Structure 1
Amino acid sequence: MEIPSNDNAAAEAERALSTLAVNTDDVEALDTLAGAEVLVPVPDDADDETAGDPSAVALPVLERPGEEPLVPVFTSELRMAELLPSVSRYRLVPLGALASQWPSSDLSLTIDANSPHGLTLDSQGVRTLLARPHG
């Protein structure tokens, strides 16, 4: 039995991130990224019921002294394992859907933080750059 892989989608998302590192206004790259599925680590304190509920996503929040709280997401298992090797569970979530429900509080999002093409956005940037209208 072959296990489905998101390798092609991850490669497209990484190319979009690389493009955005050079030109943050590239609409095609933003659209590609917003349409990509990202891996959202399931927090260690999330119970099994929450972790298994497809309608709820518990965001893993990293607290850093003197900075906004940060939610890490990743384009691939490899990227996630490089930064957070102890993560054993994650959810695959469309980034645009995640962005459209992003809280208005000061909560930043970082995509592939440990890679050369990593991107970090504040809460306003997440909602304005990655949230896409349905249809």
Structure 2
Amino acid sequence: METPAHDHAETPARRALDALSVNTEDTAALAALASSEVLVPVPDDANQEATADPTTVALPVLEQPDGDPVVPVFTSEGELAELLPYVSRYRLVPLAALASQWPAEDLSLSIDAGSTHPLTLTSEGVRTLLARH
């Protein structure tokens, strides 16, 4: 899908992130987040074959300032466009499905990194908090 101008929709995932910023133990918010869909950026230089297969998702890995790898995902097109304006395509993926297939290596997941209530989870956090819901 192409990303239009900055649409900051109030999605269930966004509401869950807002709730988790107040109470990180909010199981209802974690369940809502896990059951929501997120936008996974597709780099413009991504292999066309990989982006055409609906059963696989190539994870965009960025390097954090400390050198640790992180996969950015977003709750809305506006959040995506604000942080990564050069990305014009994305895949809509259920977060729980992404979490259940999360790689074993030390790879963090960052949800809405540029927002007022971002959430970054370690590999273990992705698998234990999101995949179980």
Q: Deviations over 1:44-100 (max 9, x none)?
A: 332111111101100000013433200000000000000000101110000000001
- How do 1:45-56 and structure 2 match up within 5 A? 45-56=45-56
Structure 2 match to 1:107? 107
The alpha carbon displacement at 1:110 in A equals 0.3
Distance 1:40 1:65 in 2: 21
After superposition, where does 1:74-85 map in structure 2 within 5 Å? 74-85=74-85
Q: Alpha-carbon deviations, 1:4-38, whole Å to 9, x = none?
A: xxx8x852111100111111111110010001000
* In 1: Cα distance, 2:68 partner to 2:44 partner: 21
Give the 3-state SS of the residue equivalent to 1:99 in structure 2.
Answer: helix
Give 1:23's aligned residue.
23
Q: By how many angstroms is 1:105 displaced? A: 0.4
C-alpha contact (below 8 Å) 1:43/1:58 kept by paired residues: no
Secondary structure of residue in 2 paired with 1:49: helix
Residues 1-135 of structure 1: matches in 2 within 5 Å? Answer: 11-132=11-132
**Greater relative CO, 1 or 2 (CA 8 Å, sep 6+):** 2
Distance 1:87 1:16 in 2: 25
SS of 1:113's partner is coil
Q: Residue type of the partner of 2:127?
A: R
RMSD between aligned alpha carbons?
1.6
Gaps of 5+ in 2: 1-6
Provide the C-alpha distance between the structure 1 equivalents of 2:76 and 2:11, rounded to a whole number of angstroms. Answer: 9
Per the alignment, in what secondary structure is the counterpart of residue 70 of structure 1?
strand
Q: Structure 1 vs Structure 2: percent identity of aligned residues?
A: 68
Unaligned runs of 5+ in 1: 1-6
Within 2, Cα distance between the matches of 1:30 and 1:64? 24
Question: What's the TM-score, normalizing by structure 1?
Answer: 0.87
